[in-house]
Amino acid sequence: MTNLSTLRISTRSVLMWTTVAVVSASAWGVLALSRGERISAIWLLAAALGSYAIAYRFYARFIARRVLQVDDRRATPAERLDNGIDYHPTDRRVLFGHHFAAIAGAGPLVGPVLAAQMGYLPGTLWIVVGVIFAGAVQDMITLFFSMRRDGRSLGQMAREEIGPIGGAAALIAVFAIMIILLAVLALVVVNALARSPWGTFSIAMTIPIALFMGYYLRMLRPGKVIETTLIGVGLLLLAIIAGGWVEGSSWAGAFTLRPQTLVICVIIYGFAASVLPVWMLLAPRDYLSTFMKIGTIVLLAISVAVAAPVLQNQAFSEFAFSGDGPVFAGGLFPFVFIVIACGALSGFHSLIASGTTPKMIQKESQVRMIGYGAMLMESFVAIMALIAASIIDPGLYYAMNAPAGLLGTTVESASAAVNNLGFTITPDALAGAAAAVGEDTLIARTGGAPTLAIGMSEIFAGVFGGAALKAFWYHFAIMFEALFILTTVDAGTRVGRFMLQDTLGNVYRPLGQLSWKPGLWATSTAVVGAWGYFLYTGVTNPLGGINQLFPLFGIANQLLAAVALTVCTTLLIKSGRARWGWVTIVPLTWVVAVTLTASWQKIFSSDPELGFFAQAARFSTALEQGRWIAPANNRDDMVAVVTNSTVCGVLSLLFAVLISVVIVDAARVWVRALRSSVRLPSTEAPFVESKIVAAAGLIATDEERRALAGAGPVANGASHEHR
């Protein structure tokens, strides 16, 4: 930092960054000015990648150096507390991979698909601008402050730095969000597998495959993770191919399940996975899903670049302005910013950025690459999902994503409903699209996963194998999503169980003991029951579960982001960095405006399509008069709508109250800190001089290489720098 050579900017660097800026700006220009003509997805990629590069080079560097003042002379908790278990200095490139695998999941894939209802431009703008100024900032700053506090969790930081009230509100928020998250993700899987024998068979096979891998890794070849994973992936591909045979055989009936049956299967699976030993099911599934996740994302990036598909979606659809789209209700503001959480700004990441990752960082300066960089990568995944959803025919998109109640069950009724929405798809085309991917029907396959799979199968088939392999690629994409969603569900159920055991242990001591079996079963049942309830109502809701629950999930996730940004702001102010407070206050203000507006509309809107309580009132009035309102066509449906809408409304209210409590409580601390002439007490670990030498960014600079060569292999740990 103090070295003069880093202050002088070379001509080459100026030229390079000018080129990046010009290319990126031109791509944005093409996106902004093309109206009514079809443009290539390459422009989206160029605009996004160029913006990421500039943000990483300039803004992330500014935050690291000026705002956080990262100090590489200071030993990180990984170095000071190294115990070879959870605290151990890990190579930055390896940790980047771990952190990325932990933060990226189905979220960045599902949200953009649903938001494609508004056209491709609102989603693209929010994903790129949101990640640069909000999402990546939140991840990096949370990571930094947790690292300065020996890897404390977000909940602990909220309690210690804000106070017991803000801390308790944050803890309740984390738990509630977890439950909604698990329910929504499980709903995506159930919707993708319902009445699809091919998909159901392939996913069911992942359980015996994982059990086999667990046994192999424990008994036969201890520690041989790569070998075991390769065998597992081989079996997985076989399971996808075999799914096609099952579909055409007499077994098909056994694997053609109703959504309600699948819900029960997922609930039983979630419970089993959370009480069984980790090595049996959870760990091997995690290996498989990580491999599939990274492999497929790389494959998709290459395929999009090679195939350069043309976008079929409009830049802005009419639903962006009317706010009455069939996929989810509400206008562009705030709902694009709610539906796309992961990929732009995801509060959930703050749980990973405070916890596992900060205990493994070698050098403070690496928070830029790991915190900011990994989030940029997730944002890129979201852009690819948006591309996949935007290259398919809009008629097909609405036939798949509008609620079943609107579309009916036949290709004729769905075609007519899509025409009513102002798009066209013929019954033959709809039947043909389903046949091309080996499915009976694509009507109302909501949840985003099937739509993404259709888009991905088109992109992949364009590069590898053509139309003949389309059905394989479709089920490959379904497998890819379902696999890591189920991994999130079992890991999440376990995490939820720990949180519950920890909290309830304060009330009844034995419950806090992790090894006490009755406590373990009781808390697991409670967690599974809670998300299982929302999952079941989501499946049976005649108005479409995703339509109702996804906005709630988005609000919850953004609420957690607001909590994280509040904690970050508090820490910036308390640590004497108040002049840089705007770095987190700007995204905080934005996310609070978005969540509170969305909550307000969901609670108070008199439009029954939008407001939960208005909807409940409309249906209960009709119920009292003995009428049914379409799409409900019996008494049970009517009762279900009233109950669901009321529960969702109460939850929205709870979320809005929680966020207000955290912010008001934190603001009190901000004022006190700003007025105080001395620094308020904080929990930052004291300075210890670092002995480790390691590079900050992906590629070591010449200067860092010289330092590494001087340090020798011992101080350098397991690092492996190419020279």
Partner 1 sequence: MSIAELFRGLRWYLREFSGESRYDHYLARHRRLHPDQPVMTPSEFERWRSKLAENQPATRCC
> Could you say whether residue 310 binds partner 1 (CB under 8 A)?
no
Q: How far is CA 403 from the centre of its chain?
A: 23
> Could you say whether residue 85 binds partner 1 (CB under 8 A)?
yes
Q: Judged by CB, which is closer to partner 1: 90, or 313?
A: 90
Residues 177-216 that bind partner 1 (CB under 8 A): 181, 185
Q: How far is the CB of 341 from partner 1 (least distance, A)?
A: 8
CA quadruple 495, 496, 499, 502: dihedral, nearest 10: -100
For residue 434, CA distances in Å to 133, 431, 480, 527, 615 come to 40, 5, 19, 36, 33
Q: Residue 443, exposed/middle/buried by CB under 10 A (0-12, 13-18, 19+)? A: buried
Measured distance between the N- and C-terminal CA atoms of the chain, rounded to whole angstroms: 23
Rounded to an integer, what distance in angstroms lies between the CA atom of residue 390 and that of residue 581? Answer: 38
Q: Judged by CB, which is closer to partner 1: 44, or 341?
A: 341
Rounded to an integer, what distance in angstroms lies between the CA atom of residue 590 and that of residue 596? Answer: 10
Q: Judged by CB, which is closer to partner 1: 234, or 277?
A: 277
Q: Which residues pair with 90 in a beta bridge?
A: 361
How many CB atoms sit inside 10 A of residue 545's CB?
A: 27
Q: How far is the CB of 513 from partner 1 (least distance, A)?
A: 11
Q: How far is the CB of 351 from partner 1 (least distance, A)?
A: 6
Q: How far is the CB of 82 from partner 1 (least distance, A)?
A: 8
Among 1, 298, 514, 688, binds partner 1 (CB under 8 A): 514
Using the Cα atoms of residue 237, residue 240, residue 246 and residue 251 in order, give the sign of their dihedral. positive
> Could you say whether residue 699 binds partner 1 (CB under 8 A)?
no
Among 351, 384, 528, 610, binds partner 1 (CB under 8 A): 351
The candidate with the shortest Cα–Cα distance to 617, out of 600, 652, 649, 642, is: 642
Q: How far is the CB of 718 from partner 1 (least distance, A)?
A: 6
> Could you say whether residue 356 binds partner 1 (CB under 8 A)?
yes
The candidate with the shortest Cα–Cα distance to 72, out of 366, 370, 372, 374, is: 366
Count residues near partner 1 (CB under 8 A): 54
Q: How far is the CB of 500 from partner 1 (least distance, A)?
A: 13
> Could you say whether residue 155 binds partner 1 (CB under 8 A)?
no
Q: How far is the CB of 450 from partner 1 (least distance, A)?
A: 18
Rounded to an integer, what distance in angstroms lies between the CA atom of residue 361 and that of residue 377? Answer: 19
Q: Judged by CB, which is closer to partner 1: 86, or 428?
A: 86
Among 363, 494, 602, 618, binds partner 1 (CB under 8 A): 494
Q: Judged by CB, which is closer to partner 1: 219, or 678?
A: 219
Q: How far is the CB of 588 from partner 1 (least distance, A)?
A: 20
Q: How far is the CB of 722 from partner 1 (least distance, A)?
A: 6
> Could you say whether residue 273 binds partner 1 (CB under 8 A)?
no
Among 138, 317, 346, 644, binds partner 1 (CB under 8 A): 346
> Could you say whether residue 226 binds partner 1 (CB under 8 A)?
yes
Applying CB under 8 A, the span of 6-14, 159-167, 339-347, 531-539 interacting with partner 1 comes to: 339-347
Q: Helices H, strands E: what count in the chain?
A: 34, 0
Please state whether the peptide bond connecting residue 77 to the residue before it is cis, i.e. omega within 30 degrees of 0: no
**What is the token pair recorded at 110?**
């599902």
Q: Judged by CB, which is closer to partner 1: 142, or 575?
A: 142
> Could you say whether residue 86 binds partner 1 (CB under 8 A)?
yes
Q: How far is the CB of 183 from partner 1 (least distance, A)?
A: 12
Angle, alpha carbons 488-259-527 (nearest 5°): 40
> Could you say whether residue 491 binds partner 1 (CB under 8 A)?
yes
3-state secondary structure 118-155: HCHHHHHHHHHHHHHHHHHHHHHHHHHHHHCCCCCCHH
> Could you say whether residue 492 binds partner 1 (CB under 8 A)?
yes
Q: Number of C-alpha atoms within 13 angstroms, CB side, residue 177?
A: 27
Q: Judged by CB, which is closer to partner 1: 161, or 286?
A: 286
DSSP letters for 566-624: HHHHHHHHHTT-GGGTHHHHHHHHHHHHHHHHHHHHHHH-S-TTT-HHHHHHHHHHHHH
For residue 263, CA distances in Å to 207, 267, 389, 447, 526 come to 16, 6, 26, 14, 16
Buried b / exposed e along 658-670 (16+ C-beta atoms within 10 A): bbebbbebbeebb
Among 36, 84, 518, 712, binds partner 1 (CB under 8 A): 84
The candidate with the shortest Cα–Cα distance to 394, out of 182, 141, 634, 118, is: 118
Q: How far is the CB of 205 from partner 1 (least distance, A)?
A: 21
DSSP letters for 358-409: GGTBS-GGGHIIIIIIHHHHHHHHHHHHHHHHHSS-HHHHHHHHS-HHHH-S
Q: How far is the CB of 282 from partner 1 (least distance, A)?
A: 8
Among 142, 202, 379, 487, binds partner 1 (CB under 8 A): 487
> Residue written as tokens 């999440």?
492
Angle, alpha carbons 500-506-509 (nearest 5°): 95
Q: Judged by CB, which is closer to partner 1: 25, or 514?
A: 514
> Could you say whether residue 691 binds partner 1 (CB under 8 A)?
no
The answer to whether residues 147 and 367 touch, using CB atoms and an 8 Å cutoff, is: yes
3-state secondary structure (DSSP) of residue 162 = coil
Q: Judged by CB, which is closer to partner 1: 180, or 453?
A: 180
Q: How far is the CB of 98 from partner 1 (least distance, A)?
A: 7
Q: How far is the CB of 375 from partner 1 (least distance, A)?
A: 11
Residues 286-305 that bind partner 1 (CB under 8 A): 286-287
Q: How far is the CB of 495 from partner 1 (least distance, A)?
A: 5
The candidate with the shortest Cα–Cα distance to 320, out of 72, 102, 113, 120, is: 120
> Could you say whether residue 278 binds partner 1 (CB under 8 A)?
yes
Q: Judged by CB, which is closer to partner 1: 86, or 703?
A: 86
Among 349, 445, 475, 618, binds partner 1 (CB under 8 A): 349
Q: How far is the CB of 94 from partner 1 (least distance, A)?
A: 4
466: which DSSP letter? G
> Could you say whether residue 557 binds partner 1 (CB under 8 A)?
yes
Applying CB under 8 A, the span of 223-231, 245-253, 436-444, 609-617 interacting with partner 1 comes to: 223-231
Map residues 700-719 to x or -, x wherever contact with partner 1 holds by CB under 8 A. ------------------x-
> Residue written as tokens 């659809």?
317
The answer to whether residues 146 and 683 touch, using CB atoms and an 8 Å cutoff, is: no
Map residues 92-121 to x or -, x wherever contact with partner 1 holds by CB under 8 A. -xx--xx---xxxxxx--------------
Q: How far is the CB of 291 from partner 1 (least distance, A)?
A: 8
Q: Judged by CB, which is closer to partner 1: 346, or 601?
A: 346
Enumerate binding residues for partner 1 (CB under 8 A): 84-86, 88, 90-91, 93-94, 97-98, 102-107, 181, 185, 217-218, 222-226, 229, 277-279, 283, 286-287, 341-342, 346, 348-349, 351-352, 355-356, 484, 487-488, 491-492, 494-495, 498, 514, 557, 718, 720, 722
